[in-house]
Structure 1
Amino acid sequence: MSFNIGLSGLYAANKQLDVTGNNIANSATTGFKASRAEFADIYSASKLGTGSKTIGSGVNLAAVSQNFGQGAVNNTGNLLDMGIQGSGFFVLSDNGSLSYTRAGTFKADKDGFVTSSDGTARLQGYGVDANGNIVNGVLTDLRIDTSNLAPKATGSVDSTINLNSNAAVIDQTANPFDPSKAESYTKSFSTTVYDTQGNPHPMDQYMVKTGANTWKAYTLIDGRNPDGSAVSGDGAKAPVASIMQFDSAGGLTSVTTPNPVAGEPDIVSNTLTVSTWMPGAMVNGKWASNGAAAKDTGIAIDMAKTTQYNTDTSRNPPTQDGYATGQINNLTIDGSGVMFANFSNNQSRAIGQISLASFTNEQGLQPVGGTAWKETYASGVAGYDAPKVGSLGAIQSNSLEDSNVNLTSELVDLIKAQSNYQANAKTISTQSTIMQTIIQMT
């Protein structure tokens, strides 16, 4: 029996050396999780139990468990390198066969799909709809779309304006508005707007103080009236102004926009709506000549933030929702795993979101090599969600998670395993010496 006990000890010590050696060998493997050998003693017993003087029968290897603790996440400078700060696993699909990993060494293949470092499996996540909104729920192969961003016609303009309450009143009877004459208006502001093909057009607003607490706003696009008519020369039409009224405290009370339909009431609100022309509405207009058009609902200019205080007439930088065609410049990935494409027109658009998997029992996962695991009955079914949701960790792009192997502890374990092996070998050697003595006595 002592020989068997010693042999089981040798086997256990050898397995401990194997596990420790594997940890040391993978101390520089990205996303690797250290393992440990767990042992259990052996007792021979009948169904009715054991006596109080039962001697053990040795040891066996009960399990090899992994430590899924966090490894250090260090910057690499490579965009598609990703580390998880917290719990969760990246999801990879190899023709529908899912595996899970903490090694975020990804790259893009020739078709733009984000794959594992060996190119055999594709990173899984959530796609986007036509408006760039993340579509949660269904996993899909993540792909970096390098196509141009289509232009968008301007539909709204928002700005903060102050009109000097002490500005001189302009008599429009004696000095009618003329954009070519600076003395016919108080101040002008220019905003670039875009048509349906992404062509830029200057939209000029001319502010004229016509009375106490009363201002007029003339709006020209490409130097023409919003309907496409010229303001001078053949076929000229007089510019139409919106009227702004302020209270005694300098706050805007109303913006009255003349209705283009005869007999209809004027529009009173804090939004100045500029109706712009469509293709074919004019012969020589810029927008119609190249087949482009303005937004069919016109351009809504929000005037609600306009004030009339005793300070210089000025405007903060305006914002408008149109833009020209954009070419992709670079890609960024935020902590929630959303992949943003940044374009040359200063726009950005989500092109996908990385999904992470979690398991009720991580120890039940089956290692399959390549720093990856497979789902098993013991691990439970994988749960998928976006990073930073619930207990899932955050994504750190341009970074990789190092192995969580502690080399100092592993070297100490190596010495202990070696000592255990030697001690068990000594047990067998001692038993052999005793048996030789007994044989010599006979």
Structure 2
Amino acid sequence: MSFQQGLSGLNAATKSLEAIGNNVANSGTVGFKQSQVQFSDIYASTLTGSGAAQIGIGTQVARVAQLFSQGNVTLSNNPLDMAINGNGFFRMDTNGAPSYTRNGQFTLSKEGFIENASGGRLTGFLLDANGIPSIGPSPLIINKADLAPQATTTYDLSVKLDSGEADKTAADFNHSDSTTYTHSTSVPVYDSQGNSHILSTYYVKTAANQWSVFASADNVPIGYDPAAVPPANAPVALGTMTFGSGGALTTNPSTLVVPIAVTTGAAPLSITLDHKGSQQFAGSFGVSKQLPNGYAAGMLASFSVSNDGMILGRYTNGQSNILGQVALTNFENPNGLQNVGNNQWVETAESGRPRTATPQSTGLGSVQSSRVEESNVDLTAELVNMITAQRVYQANAQTIKTQDQILQTLVNLR
């Protein structure tokens, strides 16, 4: 009797409709991967003889496969949202149990962990004080502590001095009288406690191709000479800059040491002032490079995620700092993963062992910040598949109806 074939066909069409309905229901779910029911035919076993005349006894569900094709990546207003462009999964930690997801909709917990809607914590590689990433992935935490200040120790300064200026006498230098020096420039520097001080440098042309360099900190001249009489306590030049006939700096070394005594309780400053690249030409004074290191303390203002998963924090003092790196995981057989709901999968024996590494490494995609990966469900195709499954269901129901009519005819035979 063909009731078995028709009944198995009804069950198969029902399973297909269930999968299609689930796909349609999740067409708006971020990171969702559509399912596809795959069938196989059924034949009765034969102990002897050829199977050339065998007729199958129906169909059965072979497996429900998930299609891990790339979904569309769209913009998001949440800077913590992330999308994977390519292979891999975000590795989540829920009370110590790992799970994997393509849904990158994350928020920041009050403790600073990056979490998804179900409370799982995004894992990655934390950096030590030397910037070395950890060996194994662990829950990422955004350190909201202030960035400690760094005292200024070096100052790279390139200036263009005017060779046509008149000569002056270095002994007459007075930082409060602009007629006693030729040019000047200023820049903020920082002590060990992050206090700002204004370091000014002054240039006095004393002879052809020669310039004396003076300095002041917070409008206090640097380098007093108590033995100078008169005038008493006249500032002493930090050094002399000499230029060649072509206008290039010939003083070697090009560095001068600027000692600064501070009264804030911080350690005194000793700044290496490097004039490398300075030039002397006819023309107006200019500064081509002015780069002191050091900075004040800063609060975390924002952070972003780069394509390689690096989480970069930006601070109110203009500095930036790497806070960690997102980890991605892939499997030899992603179809072997077990779906546990909430857009998450867990490892099984058939998926193979997880391979966790940084984004953009071998076999893994990149991470895109402020973006989400949409469901890969093609709604138009699913609606067409739904019509097809419906017709399959009706056709199998018709075979049962026809077989019933045939059986009724046999019963009515006299």
TM-score by length of 1: 0.88
CA contact (8 A) 1:134 1:350 kept: no
Give the unaligned 5+ runs of structure 2.
none
Please give the secondary structure, in 2, of the residue aligned with 1:124: strand
For the Cα contact (< 8 Å) 1:204–1:220, is it kept in 2? yes
Unmatched 5+ stretches in structure 1? 255-267, 278-286
Contact 2:159-2:289 within 8 A present in 1 as well: no
> Cα 1:15–1:101, aligned 2, differ >3 Å: closer, same or farther?
same
Q: Alignment partner of 2:143: what SS?
A: coil
| Offset at residue 187 of structure 1 (A) | 0.2
> Which residues in structure 2 correspond to 1:319-338 (within 5 Å)?
319-338=291-310
What is the distance in 2 between the residues matched to 1:48 and 1:89? 50
The 5-angstrom pairing of residues 416-427 of structure 1 reads 416-427=388-399
Equivalent runs, 1:346-361 vs 2, <5 Å: 346-361=318-333
Pairwise CA distance, 1:316? 3.0
Q: Distance in 2 between matches of 1:229 and 1:212?
A: 26
Residues 359-411 of structure 1: CA distance to partner in whole angstroms, max 9, x if unpaired? 11111111110011011111111111222223322222222211111110000
Q: Deviations over 1:27-72 (max 9, x none)?
A: 1111101111111111223366742211112111111111111111
2:267 is aligned to 293
Contact 2:238 2:257 in 1 (8 A): no
Out of 273, 278, 282, which is 1:306 matched to? 278
**Corresponding residue of 2:186:** 190
Matching residue of 1:213: 209
1:222 positional shift: 2.5
Tell me the secondary structure at the aligned position of residue 412 of structure 2: helix
Q: Which of 258, 267, 271 is the equivalent residue of 2:255?
A: 271
* Cα distance in 2 between the residues matched to 1:398 and 1:148: 25
Summarize the Cα distance change of 1:234–1:98 in structure 2 as closer, same or farther, 3 Å threshold.
farther
Q: Which moves more between the two structures, 268-277 or 148-157? A: 268-277
Bigger shift: 33-42 or 213-222? 213-222
- Alpha-carbon distance in 2 for matches of 1:28, 1:403: 6
Aligned partner of residue 80 in structure 1, secondary structure: coil
1:1-12 to 2 correspondences below 5 Å: 1-12=1-12
The CA deviation at 1:271 is: 2.2
Aligned match of 1:222? 218
- 1:374 aligns to 2:346 (yes or no): yes
Q: Is the 8 Å Cα contact of residues 224 and 234 (structure 2) preserved in structure 1?
A: no
Using the alignment, how far apart are the partners of 2:246 and 2:89 within structure 1? 60
CA distance in 2 between partners of 1:148 and 1:335 (Å):
26
Percent of aligned positions with the same letter in both sequences?
40
**In the alignment, structure 1 residue 176 sits paired with structure 2 residue 160:** no
Distance 1:309 1:40, change over 3 A: same
Provide the rounded CA distance (Å) in 1 between the counterparts of 2:290 and 2:218: 18
Determine if the alignment matches structure 1 residue 165 to structure 2 residue 163.
yes
State whether residues 227 and 276 of structure 1, in contact with CA within 8 Å, keep that contact through their aligned partners in structure 2. Answer: no
Shift of 1:21: 0.5
Distance in 1 between the 2:49 and 2:274 partners?
87
Which secondary structure does the structure 1 equivalent of 2:19 belong to? Answer: helix
Deviation sequence 1:309-354 (CA, Å, 0-9, x none): 2221111351221111112222222222222221111111111111
Deviations 1:261-320 (A, max 9, x none): xxxxxxx4122232444xxxxxxxxx2x3211145xx21222111111222111135122
1:202 aligns with 2:198: yes
Cα RMSD for the two superposed structures: 2.2
Q: Give, in whole Å, the separation in 1 of the partners of 2:225 and 2:103.
A: 63
Letter in 1 for 2:307: G
The letter of the residue matching 1:147 is A
Aligned partner of 1:283 in structure 2 is: none
Structure 2 CA distance for partners of 1:110 and 1:165, relative to 1, 3 Å: same
Q: Which residue does the alignment assign to 1:245?
A: 242
- In structure 1, the residue matched to 2:336 is 364
Q: CA deviation at 1:248?
A: 1.5
In structure 2, what is the equivalent of residue 429 of structure 1?
Answer: 401
Shift of 1:193: 0.4
Task: Say yes or no: does 1:389 pair with 2:361.
Answer: yes
Counterpart residue identity of residue 305, structure 1: G
Structure 1 residue identity aligned to 2:154: S
Separation in 1, partners of 2:49, 2:358:
52
1:100 is paired with a residue whose SS is: strand
The change in CA–CA distance for 1:16 and 1:177 in structure 2 (over 3 A counts) is same
Does structure 1 conserve the Cα–Cα contact (< 8 Å) formed by 2:125 and 2:326?
yes
Q: How many residues align?
A: 413
Residue pair 1:3, 1:428 contacting (<8 A) in 2 also:
yes
**1:79 partner letter:** P
Alpha-carbon distance change, 232 to 399 in structure 1, aligned in 2, over 3 angstroms: farther
2:41 equivalent in structure 1 = 41
| AA aligned opposite 2:129 | A
Q: Summarize the Cα distance change of 1:353–1:223 in structure 2 as closer, same or farther, 3 Å threshold.
A: same
